[in-house]
């Protein structure tokens, strides 16, 4: 799908106040698209303050929407009839999912089902739907299957990942049964400036920045398992991946997108020590350990590179530095 000379593409971003949404909105506007984005009443950022995250562009229209309200989704779709729908309304914290499994299932599974049904209920309406999946879906412990390709059978190790597997299965069924033009992008460990402090890397950046501001040379850093390895990928690269698969991806497919190089949480902490000039006295906190965890995630990006030409461009060091600077300002 590409922009026509005679018609602007219209895009709907469900979950516009998410980290992905805040970067995707100005990107799409810069491309000349008509953009509509949705928010919840409980959104914790100002909806029009995009300049803080990714430029000066403003979204042309914001609409309140709860993905658990199927009729509300139908109403929004009929009003705007977007050519592309980006479903970013995800409860994507693994830790929070352990604490609130029902809420996670509702948002990630029932929300997706409501969207698919809403699209199907509008006669003659055939938008492209881009779903936000996760590398967490692969799970597993067999290191001989790393890097992880889309052909790998998912074996989720946590509640969040299981809901995303279910979402991908539903997307596949609706594609095969009803012809929905739906694509799932499994992103690997997105990080970047503006990320919620609920997530470990962002929280670490905040703690290091606070210690540096206070003039400390060392502070106590409470952590969970710092030996796990993750394919940390810049949200700005992943935003481009969403756009690339919207333009060039194949309907019904699943694509991976990651930096393609796993590093340990310990390595991230060491980067922050170098950036901040502050030493972390690491204290392992049992309450921060997950009931089940996957030792290593690393993305095989050959499929998305072949079909769209996408690849990550930000180094991990640059991303961590940008995150640190963001919370330090």
Q: What is the pLDDT of residues 286-300, one digit of tens each?
A: 877 777 778 899 999
Task: Tell me the per-residue pLDDT of 87-105, one tens digit each, with 9 for 90 and over.
Answer: 999 888 888 899 999 999 9
Task: Tell me the per-residue pLDDT of 244-264, one tens digit each, with 9 for 90 and over.
Answer: 999 999 999 999 999 999 999
Task: Tell me the per-residue pLDDT of 267-292, one tens digit each, with 9 for 90 and over.
Answer: 999 999 999 999 999 998 887 777 77
Give 4: exposed, middle or buried? Use CB within 10 Å, 0-12, 13-18, 19+.
exposed
Strands 263-264 and 229-230: what pairing?
antiparallel
**Under 8 Å between Cβ of 137 and 299:** no
Domain coordinates in residue numbering, the chain: 10-191+233-260+297-313
Q: Which range among 17-26, 105-114, 234-243 shows the weakest confidence by mean pLDDT?
A: 17-26
Average pLDDT rounded to a whole number, residues 52-69: 73
296 φ/ψ angles, rounded to the nearest 5 degrees: -155, 135
Structure tokens at 315: 């180094």
Task: Please state which architecture CATH assigns to domain 10-191+233-260+297-313.
Answer: 3-Layer(aba) Sandwich (3.40)
């Amino acid at each position: 799908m590409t922009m026509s000379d005679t018609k602007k593409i219209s895009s709907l971003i469900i979950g516009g106040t998410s980290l992905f949404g805040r970067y995707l909105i100005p990107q799409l506007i810069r491309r000349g698209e008509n953009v509509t984005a949705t928010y919840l009443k409980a959104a914790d950022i100002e909806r029009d303050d995009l300049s803080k995250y990714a430029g000066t562009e403003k979204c042309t229209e914001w609409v309140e929407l709860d993905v658990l309200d199927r009729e509300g989704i139908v109403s929004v779709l009929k009003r705007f009839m977007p050519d592309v729908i980006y479903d970013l309304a995800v409860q994507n914290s693994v830790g929070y999912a352990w604490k609130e499994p029902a809420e996670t299932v509702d948002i990630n599974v029932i929300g997706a089902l409501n969207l698919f049904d809403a699209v199907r209920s509008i006669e003659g309406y055939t938008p492209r739907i881009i779903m936000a999946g996760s590398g967490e879906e692969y799970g597993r412990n067999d290191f001989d299957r790393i890097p992880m390709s889309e052909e790998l059978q998912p074996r989720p190790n946590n509640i969040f990942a299981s809901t995303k597997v279910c979402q991908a299965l539903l997307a596949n069924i609706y594609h095969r049964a009803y012809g929905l033009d739906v694509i799932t992008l499994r992103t690997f460990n997105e990080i970047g400036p503006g990320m919620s402090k609920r997530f470990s890397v962002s929280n670490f950046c905040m703690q290091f920045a606070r210690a540096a501001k206070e003039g400390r040379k060392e502070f106590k850093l409470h952590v969970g398992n710092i030996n796990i390895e993750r394919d940390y990928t810049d949200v700005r690269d992943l935003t481009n991946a969403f756009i690339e698969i919207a333009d060039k991806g194949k309907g019904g497919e699943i694509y991976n997108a990651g930096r393609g190089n796993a590093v340990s949480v310990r390595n991230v902490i060491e980067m922050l020590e170098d950036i901040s000039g502050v030493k972390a006295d690491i204290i392992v906190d049992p309450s921060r350990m997950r009931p089940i965890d996957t030792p290593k995630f690393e993305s095989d990006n050959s499929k998305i590179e072949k079909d769209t030409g996408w690849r990550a461009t930000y180094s991990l060091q640059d991303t961590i530095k940008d995150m640190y600077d963001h919370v330090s300002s």
